Amino acid sequence: MEERNKTLGEFIIEKQEDFKYSSGELSRLINSIRLAAKVVNYKVNKAGLVDIIGKFGEQNIQGEDQQKLDVYANEIFMQTLINREIVCGIASEENDDFLTIEGNDGSHNNKYVVLIDPLDGSSNIDVNVSVGTIFSIYRRVTPVGTPVTLEDFLQPGVNQVAAGYVIYGTSTMLVYTTGNGVNGFTLNPAIGTFYLSHPNFMFPKDGNIYSINEGNYVHFPQGVKDYIKYCQLEEGDRPYTSRYIGSLVSDIHRNMIKGGIYIYPTSSKAPKGKLRLLYECNPMAFLAEQAGGKASDGFGRIMEIQPTELHQRVPFFCGSYNMVEKAEEFMAKYK
Ligand code: P6P
């Protein structure tokens, strides 16, 4: 079968042998994410037509107004994962604490935990800009058969067994890795099937797009200010192009296709950065590295950070290998 005509379902079955020590649970886990993505996609695409836009009237743990679609997406992914008895725990941006998932018989025999940002960039929904789901999967580290603990979630990114995102854009795509490269699947909404559209997705080693909210320029560390000026200097292949959607999945997806760097640094307004390590930076870092790119906190590898809190924030530099390396050079001057 021609590579590009392969469906996600066929791909998962074909790659089953890649999942070391897995008795098919990881495949079933990816499949349940596929199902939930289709359901959320339907709602996201209808958002303008039904009363599902706008704030839910509550705030999530981040103190951010919850858009109704945030809550809806969280419920869909939670229920889809819980009902299939594949995971033993779930942590979500929308929930203060992690959820312990028991089997129907009250057991704790499943071995995977999932961390998820069910609808990242949701503030863009009202203005019809692409949003995304980001997920990260680990094998539990505490004994199977016991309830999961926080330790199962506070693992460094290098322990991830799979990670990916769904981008609900002009087309809906599921992009994921299980540690053997990155593959992108595009949804054919007419028949509700994801088809392999971007086999062996690679980050160009170089690029000329930089993505950062320059509105915060005066609050940035000097190394970031110096890198921005480097991007803007008339020299060689520069000035680069500034492109910032304000939706992490969209900005990184574009940069993975065209080449580029995304930066959300610390600032006096966000002293630890804004993005969350466990369910935004680590999964995007896993994808970036598997695609030949680089992901850093400005000084070191994101995936080697030992997490200390479920919702902890870190500065995030992610994209084309040589561009992230260059930005780190500027940061190193002020370490
Ligand atoms: P700012 C969305 O809220 C998000 O978490 C990312 O998707 C996005 O890249 C970033 O925050 C935008 O933040 O402060 O530039 O609006």
CATH number of the domain enclosing 23: 3.30.540.10
Q: Tell whether 42 and 19 lie within a shared domain.
A: yes
Assess whether pLDDT exceeds 70 at residue 53.
no
Q: Tell whether 231 and 156 lie within a shared domain.
A: no
Which residues face 91 on adjacent strands?
A: 115
Query: Measuring from atom 12 of ligand 1, which residue has the nearest CA?
Result: 246
pLDDT of residue 20: 59
Helix (H, G, I), strand (E, B) or coil at 232: helix
Query: Measuring from atom 1 of ligand 1, which residue has the nearest CA?
Result: 246
Tell whether 316 is covered by a domain: yes
Rg of the chain on CA atoms, in Å: 19
Element housing 26 (H / E): helix 25-46
Query: Domain residues for 291?
Result: 209-332
User: Ligand 1 pocket: which residues have CB below 6 Å?
Assistant: 120-121, 123, 213, 246-248, 251, 274-275
Q: Tell whether 80 and 106 lie within a shared domain.
A: yes
Q: What is the Cα–Cα distance from 96 to 105, expressed in whole angstroms?
A: 26
Q: Tell whether 220 and 177 lie within a shared domain.
A: no
Given 148, 168, 198, which residue is the final one in a domain?
198
ipTM over 0.95: yes
Q: Tell whether 117 and 170 lie within a shared domain.
A: yes
Tell whether 214 is covered by a domain: yes
DSSP string, 236-266: TTBSPEE---S-HHHHHHHHHHH--EEEE--
Query: Measuring from atom 16 of ligand 1, which residue has the nearest CA?
Result: 246
Given 166, 198, 230, which residue is the final one in a domain?
198
Q: Tell whether 267 and 192 lie within a shared domain.
A: no
Distance 185 CA to ligand 1 centre (A): 24
Assess whether pLDDT exceeds 80 at residue 65.
no
Q: What is the mean pLDDT of residues 130-137?
A: 97
Tell whether 204 is covered by a domain: no
Q: Tell whether 103 and 170 lie within a shared domain.
A: yes
The CATH number linked to 297 is 3.40.190.80
Q: What is the Cα–Cα distance from 185 to 256, expressed in whole angstroms?
A: 14
Given 173, 198, 223, which residue is the final one in a domain?
198
Q: Tell whether 165 and 277 lie within a shared domain.
A: no
The atom of ligand 1 lying closest to the CA of 280 is 5
Tell whether 203 is covered by a domain: no
Distance 121 CA to ligand 1 centre (A): 6
Q: What is the Cα–Cα distance from 263 to 166, expressed in whole angstroms?
A: 20
Q: With cut-offs at 50, 70 and 90, classify the pLDDT of residue 4.
A: low
Mutate to test the pocket of ligand 1, among 66, 67, 120 (most ligand atoms within 8 A of CB): 120
Q: Tell whether 110 and 214 lie within a shared domain.
A: no
The atom of ligand 1 lying closest to the CA of 251 is 9
Distance 212 CA to ligand 1 centre (A): 10
End-to-end CA distance of the chain: 52
Which residues face 261 on adjacent strands?
A: 210, 319
Element housing 177 (H / E): strand 172-177
Q: Tell whether 252 and 153 lie within a shared domain.
A: no
Assess whether pLDDT exceeds 80 at residue 22.
no
| Number of domains forming the structure of the chain | 2
Q: With cut-offs at 50, 70 and 90, classify the pLDDT of residue 48.
A: low
Q: With cut-offs at 50, 70 and 90, classify the pLDDT of residue 67.
A: low
Distance 78 CA to ligand 1 centre (A): 23
Q: What is the mean pLDDT of residues 34-60?
A: 79
DSSP string, 141-156: -SPTTS---GGGTS--
pLDDT-above-90 percentage for the chain: 79
Distance 21 CA to ligand 1 centre (A): 37
Q: pTM, whole model, 2 decimals?
A: 0.94
